[in-house]
Amino acid sequence: MSLATDYEALANAAAVELEEAPAQEILRWAAEHFGKRFCVTSSMEDAVVAHLASSVFPGVDVVFLDTGYHFAETIGTRDAVAAVLPVNVITLKPLQTVAEQDARYGANLHDRDPDLCCSLRKVEPLNRGLGGYDAWATGLRRDESPSRANTPVVAWDAKRRKVKLAPIARWTQADVDAYVAANGVLLNPLLWEGYTSIGCSPLSCTAKPGEGEQGRAGRWAGSGKTECGIHL
Ligand code: SF4
């Protein structure tokens, strides 16, 4: 049996065993099984999962995708996380700068073909960056959007052949708020300006949600696109 087959079986068993487990227990399971071949990814909307992971695995790698299109506040949140948490922040960059991408595909590719832009600036760098890991954790939550409603706490990421964790999949926004308040967790300051989900800065990619909207409603609003491709 190959290592990947073992990991697939391990992930499938853990999905059942850890479904009701607290987030820290899920992260501890990952640290025990994968050690330094486990990382956390963060969009730097908040530092909740990085904080949780560092509490059970100090020095854990926290991977951030620097698309070249981030808000200054997001880069600032990344730098603050690196400064105050016992984590090792790793910044991944696309193969091309924004200027190089503009020269090849024309300016503002995000407005014309956001799937291609996300593929070049998020999916490819993440796939490359995860090469050195066997397991990765995300901050996906079931209450964020219909497309995330069935997110397992542990899964086999068949596309990347890695174990994928969502330790706060069962959390609600109220759970996040309570954890942030109790632990003084860093938040992206844009959350105080009315944004409820923070991605890249072009208006076509991240906008404040409209009246009565919440969660990820402001992401690629009106385009039909709901995910960047990392979690598909
Ligand atoms: S979110 Fe927008 S700017 Fe960022 S990679 Fe995707 S399409 Fe490009």
pLDDT of residue 147: 86
- Please determine, for residue 34, whether its predicted confidence score (pLDDT) is greater than 80: yes
Percent of the chain that is helix, strand, coil (3-state, to 5) = 45, 15, 40
Q: Taking residues 24-33, what's their average pLDDT?
A: 98
- Tracing tokens 């790793």 back to the chain, one arrives at 90
Contacts of residue 119, Cβ cutoff 8 Å, sequence gap at least 6: 229
Tokens representing 183 are: 């632990």
Mean pLDDT of the chain: 94
Ligand 1: residues whose CB is within 6 Å? 67, 69, 110, 114, 117-118, 121-122, 199-200, 202, 205, 228
pLDDT of residue 109: 97
Q: What is the pTM of this model?
A: 0.94
- Please determine, for residue 3, whether its predicted confidence score (pLDDT) is greater than 80: no
Task: Indicate which residue's Cα is closest to atom 4 of ligand 1.
Answer: 200
pLDDT band for position 2 (cuts 50, 70, 90): low
Task: Tell me the one-letter amino acid at 81.
Answer: V
- Please determine, for residue 232, whether its predicted confidence score (pLDDT) is greater than 80: no
pLDDT of residue 17: 98
pLDDT of residue 38: 98
Using the mean position of ligand 1's atoms as its centre, give its distance from the Cα of residue 174 in Å.
28
Using the mean position of ligand 1's atoms as its centre, give its distance from the Cα of residue 210 in Å.
20
Give the percent of the chain with pLDDT over 90.
84
Q: Strand pairing of 38-41 and 60-65?
A: parallel
Q: pLDDT tens-digit profile of 135-171?
A: 999 999 999 888 899 999 999 999 999 999 999 999 9
Tokens representing 231 are: 């979690």
Is 118 part of the annotated catalytic residue set? no
Q: Which of 118, 126, 195, 227 has most ligand 1 atoms within 8 Å of CB, for mutation? A: 118
- Please determine, for residue 1, whether its predicted confidence score (pLDDT) is greater than 70: no
146-172 burial, b at 16+ Cβ within 10 Å, e below that, comes to: eebeebbbbbbbeeeebbbbbbbbbbe
Q: Which of 228, 230, 231, 232 has most ligand 1 atoms within 8 Å of CB, for mutation? A: 228
CA atoms within a 13 Å half-sphere pointing along the CA-CB vector of 105: 16
- Please determine, for residue 46, whether its predicted confidence score (pLDDT) is greater than 70: yes
Which of these is catalytic: 117, 118, 205, 228? 228
Contacts of residue 202, Cβ cutoff 8 Å, sequence gap at least 6: 69, 108, 110, 111
Task: Tell me the one-letter amino acid at 128.
Answer: R
Q: Taking residues 186-193, what's their average pLDDT?
A: 96
